[in-house]
Amino acid sequence: MMRKILVALALAGFAWAFLPLVFEAGVIGEPGQLASSYLENSPKDFAAANVVTAIVVSYRGFDTLGEVAVLFAATAGVGSLLTKKRLGIAGEKIPMQNATEVLRTATRLLTGLLIMFGAYIFMHGHLTPGGGFQGGVVIATAVLLSLLSSPESHVAHGLMTAVESLSGASYVGLGLLGAFLAWGFLDPRALPLGRIGALLSAGAIPFIYSAIGLKVGAELSGILEALKGDRE
Amino acid sequence: MIVDLAIAALGLFMAGAGIGAIKTKSILVSIILSGGVSLAASVVFLLMGAPDVAMTEAAIGSALTTVVFLYALARSRQADSETSDMPIDNPAKDSTIPPVDSSLGQTETGAAS
């Protein structure tokens, strides 16, 4: 009884704290000081059509590097914990049910399209909504579909490790290029900015976001493969 | 005005699905319902003018997280049925239902597809 009263009190407290947000929800007409400064400066500074990408990759680029590092640590943890040996099923063969004909046919049709769409999302991150993280997740979805449709198959480990470490190294390398050729670490103006709206514009942003996309896609594919539970 | 109404309706759906996810007895249903909450949240983000966040929420929240939960559910049931014959303290399972056999793990993975 006491517990129920405490829970109700806690819920009422949350409701009271969040109630003002209900009336402020929706699209705000006037951007604040920081937001308008970003909106004005990012096309001039970086020639990026998508202001969100300019913020994520350039103004807050160091945070994004940290996020990628966190994701890498999470992948390493999942990969080292979810092995057959640790799960106590070393040497055993897990019986797998075969996928249905519908799933197999749809996977053959969709896998290529999904990988292409993911690559499109991260290559056009500086022009249209989306970017490395979203594109990487779409690519991981393609890997998931093929894992589901043929349960006996494996993700090519060497390829995934190579893609993951090469893209991570090139991300840091592009950041260092910014430190030497432009104003600081992860400054995308190390490469020519180009015309706003073109595919090869916004300096190093499309290359950085492509590296992030490949890295995220490889890492999430690794997590999905580890969760399948038959990793040696 | 229409956008506000749509956001309110989606909010109500999210609240209902969230309560349903807590109240339901089946873990599978509550995983699907929490995926639905994320899907509705991504539409709300889109209506509020944040397509980047909407894409992230739709891809990670409603697709990948749901799949990871389903995999974990399948694996835990498999591990339970392998290691012990004791009845497991599982809120998803009434005592009237017989213990889970090893084939159930695979059917859950099939349901994820």
**What is the Cα–Cα distance from A147 to A150, expressed in whole angstroms?**
5
Tell if the CB–CB gap between B113 and A25 is shorter than 8 Å: no
Q: Do B52 and A87 count as a contact with CB atoms less than 8 A apart?
A: no
CB distance B82 to B74 below 8 Å: no
B59, B71 contact by CB (below 8 A): no
Single-letter amino acid code for the residue at B55 = M
Taking contacts as CB-CB distances below 8 angstroms, the residues of chain A near B59 are 134, 137-138, 141
Q: Which of B14, B38, B47, B52 to mutate to test the interface with A (most CBs of A within 10 A)?
A: B52
A206-230: pLDDT as tens digits: 888 889 999 998 988 888 888 876 6
Asked if residues A49 and A197 have their Cβ atoms less than 8 Å apart, the reply is yes
pTM tops 0.95: no
Place of tokens 């697709």: B63
Nearest Cα neighbor of B39 from B64, B61, B12 is: B61
Place of tokens 């007895």: B25
Question: How does pLDDT run across B16-33, given as a tens digit for each residue?
Answer: 999 999 998 898 999 999
DSSP at B100: P
Residue B111's pLDDT band (cuts 50, 70, 90): very low
DSSP 8-state class, residue B98? P
Are B48 and A26 a contacting pair at CB < 8 A? yes
pLDDT of A25 reads 63
> Amino acid letter at B100?
V
Please give the structure tokens belonging to residue A108. Answer: 């053959």
